[in-house]
Structure formats: structure tokens, C-alpha cells
Amino acid sequence: MEHTIHDVAKIAGVGIGTVSRVLNNNPNVKASTREKVLSAVSQLDYQPNPIARSMILRRTNSIGVMVPFFTRPFTIEVLRSVEAAIYRAGRELVLYNVETNAQRDTYFSELPMRRRVDGLLIISLPPAIATALRFQQVNMPVVLVDAYNPLLTSLVVNNVEGAYQAVNCLIEHGHRRIGFINGIINEGNFKFNQANDRLIGFHRALGEADLLFEPDLMITSEWNRHAGRAAALELLTRTPRPTAIFAASDIQAVGVLEAARELGIKIPKELSLIGFDGIELSELLDFSTMQQPIQEMGAIGVEKLIERIEQPELSSELIRLDTILVERRTTARPHLD
């Protein structure tokens, strides 16, 4: 015989509402009452109906994940860690891929009203203040990963420090003419602030080493391999050419490798290279990079979102993670003729 919540309430000598509060870990229940309810649950081996429970709580047991251009290697790897964390938490993942401003704005305005998910994890898409306020007004739990908004819990890496460490590494190896391939700061109005922060770190490293910033050694490009290759070809055909290049993303660094091979430039003998992200491809191609804690970002993002789903009263927080320099075969002292 399958027991019901009514049976639990009868044995515990309490109302159904009290049983529901205990099962949902509501703190507003006396310890003695909680003990009686849990004893009745154990005695009856009562298992709450998950569908009925979700209806009572107005929950879908689903988490929405919004990502831009999920064909990007970095986004794919973050998404992989997010999916694993959601699975471990016993939730369902609902994916929203954003490729245009209109699509982003539609999701931002409509998803909180539809209530098809219990919360939103937004990757690399910083919402405007007005959008964040709308999320709060309709009580939609939201956590940002690789993006920042002062009104929302945001999980970011220290891009300034990471870029500083990368360029400082090249300087310590003896490089003085260092090229920088940065991502465009405002891509389709998505405002990828990572590019701005990595530029600040680049300037800081040069300044501390008393090296002048040379504008002709910096090129901004799209965050992809083809754009990285084109930027590297431009840098490496200048006279004198840089002896090292720092690329703001690993996928752009792959483009640098292609350009160097095309021009017959030997790495690291004639050109050193450091990327940024630590995607799996950097290990496969054995190039140096600033490793982001990709697995940790996904796991913490999901953990923080579930906390806010279960405890809506929690205030927002900024979580900043560090990057780690991983040197491989593409960094060495500059070759002097």
C-alpha cells in the first residue's frame, strides 16, 4: 500500500501543511514537531510524489542555461561542466542559444514570465541593469558565469591579473617587442568586458617593466581562429616583427599558430605564444595558456543558482576566481641573430 501525506500527518498528529513544511526544509517548524514528522515518514517509508511536489512548489525542476554562440570551444567546455553539475543535482537542463541581439532581448524579457524553468544560468552575456531589475521584480533566480552585473550573483575570473601574468611571463623570458591580439570589446553589443580587462593587464605588465606601449603591436579581432590568423599575419609581416604574441583567447592563439606555419616562422625559436582560456585544444596543440577554472566555474555557477532557487532571500554576490599560467612548448627566450 502506498502511503500519502495524509497518513504521515495522522501518525505525527499534525496538519498536512506542517508535514509539507518539514519535507521542504522550512525553518519555521519547532524541532520537536519536525522530529515527530520525520519519525512518521520513516515509519511509513513515505516517498513524496515528485510531480505533485513540483506543482505545490510551482517548480519545474529545470534550469535554463543561456549561452552565446555555443559553437565556441570555451563556451562548449563551460557548458559541459554546467550540464554535469545540473545532472548531479538531479535537475533538467533547458538550453537557450543566443546568436543575435533580438534573440537575447526576447529571452531576457519572456523567459522570466513563462516560468518554464526555476532559474537562469547566463554565460558570457551581461544583462543591463534594467533587465536585472526585471529579473528581481518577478523573482526569477539568476546567476551569471563569465559575466558581471552588480544586481546579480556573478562568477568571473580575474582577467586583469591573468593577462598581466601572461605578458609578464613573456617579459621575464626576455621579450621586449610583444604583440597583442585582443578580442573586440563590443561584439554585437554583447559587451564582452573580458577584452577590456585583458587590455588593462597587458598595459600593467608593460608599465611595470618600463616598456612603452606600441599601438602598432596590438590588433583587435573577432573571437575566432580565422580572425586570429589574419591578425597574426598582419603582426608578423611588420618590420621589425614581434618576438612574442599574447592572444586574448586560445582559439585566436590557434590562428597565430596557423599564421606562423604559413610564414615559416618557428615556434618557439622565432616566436613565443601564450593564449588565454585553457580549453582542451591548447593541451592538444601543446601551446602555453592562461588556464581558466572551467570545471569549477560551471559547478559553482549551478550550485549558486540552486541556492537561490531554494533560498530566494539570499543577496547577490561577486565570486572572482584566479587563472593559472600553464607553460608548454610555445614559450622561450627570444632568438637573437
- Residue-wise pLDDT for 58-113, tens only, equals 567 889 999 887 667 888 899 999 999 998 888 889 888 888 778 887 878 777 66
The reported pLDDT for the residue numbered 55 is 43
The reported pLDDT for the residue numbered 262 is 97
Q: What is the DSSP string of 250-273?
A: HHHHHHHHHHHHHHT--TTTT-EE
Return the CATH number of 5-57, one of 1.10.3720.10, 1.10.260.40, 3.40.190.170, 2.60.40.1150: 1.10.260.40
Place of cell 533560498: 311
Region 135-161: mean pLDDT is 92
- The pTM of the full predicted model, rounded to 2 decimals, is 0.77
The reported pLDDT for the residue numbered 2 is 67
Residue 241 confidence (pLDDT) above 50: yes
Given this chain, do its domains 5-57 and 62-157+294-320 carry the same CATH topology?
Answer: no
The reported pLDDT for the residue numbered 261 is 97
pLDDT tens-digit series, residues 157-175: 999 999 999 999 999 999 9
Domain residue spans of the chain: 5-57, 62-157+294-320, 159-291
Three-state DSSP state, 143: strand
Confidence band for 7, pLDDT divided at 50, 70 and 90: confident
- Highest-pLDDT range among 4-8, 282-286, 294-298: 282-286
Query: Is 62-157+294-320 in CATH node 3.30.1330.200?
Result: no
C-alpha cell at 39: 519519525
- Omega before 268 cis (within 30°)? yes
CA-closest candidate to residue 225, choices 277, 267, 265:
277
* Fold (topology level) of 159-291: Rossmann fold (3.40.50)
Q: Residue 155: how many CB atoms within 10 A of its CB?
A: 26
- How far is residue 112's CA from residue 297's CA, in Å, rounded to a whole number? 23
Q: In degrees to the nearest 10, what's the CA dihedral of 219, 102, 66, 135? A: 120
